Amino acid sequence: MFTKDHIISIRDFSKEEVDYVLDRAEELEIYARGNESCNLLEGKVLANLFYEPSTRTRLSFEAAMVRLGGETINIYSQESSSVAKGENLADTIRTVAGYCDVIALRHPQEGASRMAAAFSSVPIINAGDGAGQHPTQTLLDLYTIRREGLLDGLKIALIGDLKYGRTVHSLAYALSLYGATLFFVSPSALKMPEEIKSDLKEMGAEIYEYTEVKEVIQEVKVLYVTRIQKERFPDPTEYSKVAGTYRITTDILKENEDVVVMHPLPRVNEIDVEVDKTKHARYFTQSFYGVPVRMAILSILLGK
Chain residues binding a copy of itself by CB under 8 A are 31, 34, 36-38, 42-45, 47, 53-56, 59-60, 62-63, 66-67, 69, 71-73, 75-76, 78-79, 82-83, 85-87, 90-91, 94-96, 98-101, 265-268, 273, 284-285, 287-288, 290-291
Burial-class residue 149 by CB neighbours within 10 Å (0-12, 13-18, 19+). exposed
- Count Cα atoms within 13 angstroms, Cβ side, for 103: 29
Q: Which is nearer to a copy of itself, 159 or 291 (CB)?
A: 291
- CA pair distance 207, 197, nearest whole angstrom: 8
- Minimum CB distance to a copy of itself, residue 196 (Å): 27
Cis peptide before 264 (omega within 30 of 0): no
Q: Which is nearer to a copy of itself, 45 or 150 (CB)?
A: 45
- CA pair distance 248, 250, nearest whole angstrom: 7
- Minimum CB distance to a copy of itself, residue 26 (Å): 17
Q: Which is nearer to a copy of itself, 70 or 132 (CB)?
A: 70
- Minimum CB distance to a copy of itself, residue 217 (Å): 24
- Minimum CB distance to a copy of itself, residue 12 (Å): 25
Q: How far is CA 131 from CA 137, 207, 231, in A?
A: 14, 23, 16
Q: Which is nearer to a copy of itself, 78 or 188 (CB)?
A: 78
- CA pair distance 295, 304, nearest whole angstrom: 11
Q: Which is nearer to a copy of itself, 59 or 203 (CB)?
A: 59
- CA pair distance 186, 260, nearest whole angstrom: 19
Q: ∠288-213-149 over CA atoms, to 5°?
A: 40
- Minimum CB distance to a copy of itself, residue 200 (Å): 30
Q: How far is CA 136 from CA 28, 36, 224, 272, in A?
A: 16, 24, 17, 26
Q: Which is nearer to a copy of itself, 54 or 109 (CB)?
A: 54
- Minimum CB distance to a copy of itself, residue 181 (Å): 30
Neighbours of 284 (CB within 10 A): 11
Q: Which is nearer to a copy of itself, 85 or 254 (CB)?
A: 85
Q: How far is CA 299 from CA 21, 45, 52, 215, 217, in A?
A: 10, 12, 25, 43, 38
Burial-class residue 198 by CB neighbours within 10 Å (0-12, 13-18, 19+). exposed
Q: Which is nearer to a copy of itself, 47 or 223 (CB)?
A: 47
- CA pair distance 297, 280, nearest whole angstrom: 28
- Minimum CB distance to a copy of itself, residue 276 (Å): 8
- Minimum CB distance to a copy of itself, residue 44 (Å): 6
